Structure 1
């Protein structure tokens, strides 16, 4: 009986339903065919050590992920869901891939990623054709095990996503910092216990710098900020969030208002840094769109008097195009970041405006079931998009009012046009009047009931009109038949002639005999015929 070699790729294909379910939980979608193509053809071509049969080595997976998430044309956004699922399988392995996850001797399991200052120490396992492992030449002393939630932080550099390749592990064992303020949140105490760290501190990225010959200085680079317990914490953009934002939203050229609203909400909730703003713009906008946004933003940089300035030094200070050296741990640094996001949002709104086209504004009409407030909102957005004017300015209120009245629904338009003293009404007053008309409209059930009653009334009227016409036709027929009978009787009376008396002859009109005895009648009729003899059996007298 033959024996087949099991590989990471074949394992994932054998358990494809579970892989697809895990992708669904990560808010992404993967296809079996492209899964095989990327694993066996695309990722081996990156030259980072990815085998054609796949691997669950987290170091190689992170290197492939860094290349996939590269900004600009060098990135591979179509491969983002697949490398995310590979990474999740390696970090949270199901039972059926445990044989491909190297383990370390000792009572506790080895973390999925080794510390950056120690090399990985694989444990020798029994030889197997299914899950081959490399036998080390020597087994060094076991390093201290980091907490499970901080095992992968030291591999990440200080740059924002997409992340660069993890640094090469050091060969020497780590030493605890001497100063109490110097240790990293990921370091351990003298007795092997992890030092206390503030809540959510594991979400920060730390960088270790050499302060001198005998001491190490740990510094942190701030990223999307959030205050927790009085301390600023890092909340990074996840790869699935960036992928979903790009996939499930229209492009900036197609619908600038929708994408601007999305970016505005992200700026308010995540409070991203300068680096994260660039990553967000590179993901959601094209190169030409980013240039337009930068140009409009630099036009809206406020000066000392609050109005847009034209001084290059002030523009560069507020809205730099290269990475600034702002310290986000200080109030001044966070204020600079807040002003940068404000100017960036103004640039997005300015770049979203289209060329002036009043015909597009006049084409915005109220729908049948649209509320007056919703229609006014669309009308104002149309003014902002297709005109260079501010629709909320006092000098533009008459134009907006005329457009609101003329482009409303017919019943609302008729009501607003009949208002007395229309010149004294504000836009809010007109919206209230339009709401009254809109709320008095019949519901769908009432409309169906009214249509049914009107249909019944029309049918009743049609039946009555039809019955009336049939009655007229029958009356005409009956009257015509009576007239024909009376005419026939009159004709018969004329043919009978005048009546004669009892003893008067009807032939000669003389009295004293009847027509059968009239002597004149026999004379005019010619010779009298002889009677035909009849044989009689009786004797004649």
Structure 2
């Protein structure tokens, strides 16, 4: 039943509105149907939640809704079709019909299922008094609740429980909480019951993190192990991870220091070997400054004066390698021999100038500053 007065009888707060409200008219108090708004339906859907995910909450909230507000057949139909899936609604309706049919065989005053829970609007009279159809509406609600109870006992999904695994950094207590919530939501088991506790312990062991599972698998053959003891064992492994990680870090740093020390020692030994070879190596030919063998021209004890001026300072009487203005000059020359006079044949000078071809290609004298130009 609808009336233009309904537009003035709806509350403006955010609570759910009763579709049937008493309004004073000339004939007295009458019930006026105020349809659910979209906001009302949205709030109802949030309160009821998912039937498959949590049937107990859905049934409780649906019962509260039907008791708190005077609903019509159409209101109940809208609530069911908007909060249940088509499959859920079909199963609940079939279970309600079946229950009504069973009651009819015992008491023929009870109508058959299709009549007790109509599939189409029966156009009931919701006004109070003789001939009211409110009892029929209430009977329909009761059979729907019975159908929900029957269907909810069949909504068991252990696969959802198996999908919950412990994350690497998730502590065991939080992991157990997630398992308990899934056990209540997707099965009919009570975590406090013996069967529920055994199922919970089995999933807690098998779906723990790998290192915790290795510790707990010994207790898997003993279903009587209390879940609290399993959580304590899991926390021991979980807390030991930090100690293991710190020990691994210390071992890594120690290994790194050892490798660096070994590399430094090897480098120092290599430098000493290069220096020793440079000091003990005998030149392959005669010194181009004096024509004698057995020493490097840089350390010649009796050098002859060059036949040409020094190319760096243009002065006579000193070799280019001995020039103080040369950037490569590093070994002081014997000052007592610089003033000696003498002539060196050009052929001998040119021959002696090429006495160290191999030394020019070796990196060791270059590194030590003993290479002559």
TM-score range, shorter chain: 0.3 to 0.5
User: TM-score if structure 2 supplies the norm length?
Assistant: 0.47
Which is bigger in relative contact order (C-alpha 8 A, separation at least 6)?
2
